[in-house]
Amino acid sequence: MQHPTSALYVRLPQAEAEKLHRAAEALATNKKALVTTLVSRYVDPDSAEGLDRLRELAATPGRRVTVELPDSGLAVGHHAFTPADAPDVLTPAQAADLLQVSEDEVVALAEQGTLPGRRIGRHWRFARPALIAWLSGA
């Protein structure tokens, strides 16, 4: 008998979503199976120790700030931050970050014609969609 399931919709930062996609491809599995395994292994809201570990993860710098206010008094303000969209045209350094290799390797592969890119004068530029398509073997 199949276990009951529940729908889950999350918006991940693009880099993490791509990481999850690459992991699923490398392991020849689907993202649902990876997420299910990670949640079953690392999420334990039923124990104090499990909650402490989750609090540490949730307190990653730059992710979320929680301010405890007294029950009385006036609380004013709201802040939201939306990071800028990733550029479609990348420098060799940005392409190296995307591909998780060195900048020298990106330039060498581009000069060999292996990596899709264009030289504009002395500078190399890379299209993000072309790099992702190249990486996926399309």
pLDDT in tens, 114-134: 999 999 999 999 999 999 999
The percentage of the chain sitting over the pLDDT mark of 70, rounded to a whole number, equals 82
Residue 96 scores a pLDDT above 90: yes
Give the model's pLDDT for residue 65.
54
Q: Decide if pLDDT at 106 tops 80.
A: yes
Average pLDDT value over all residues in the chain = 84
Burial 50-65 (b: 16+ CB within 10 A, else e): eeeeeeeeeeeeeeee
**Residue 124, C-beta contacts closer than 8 angstroms, at least 6 positions apart:** 91, 92, 106, 107, 110, 117, 118
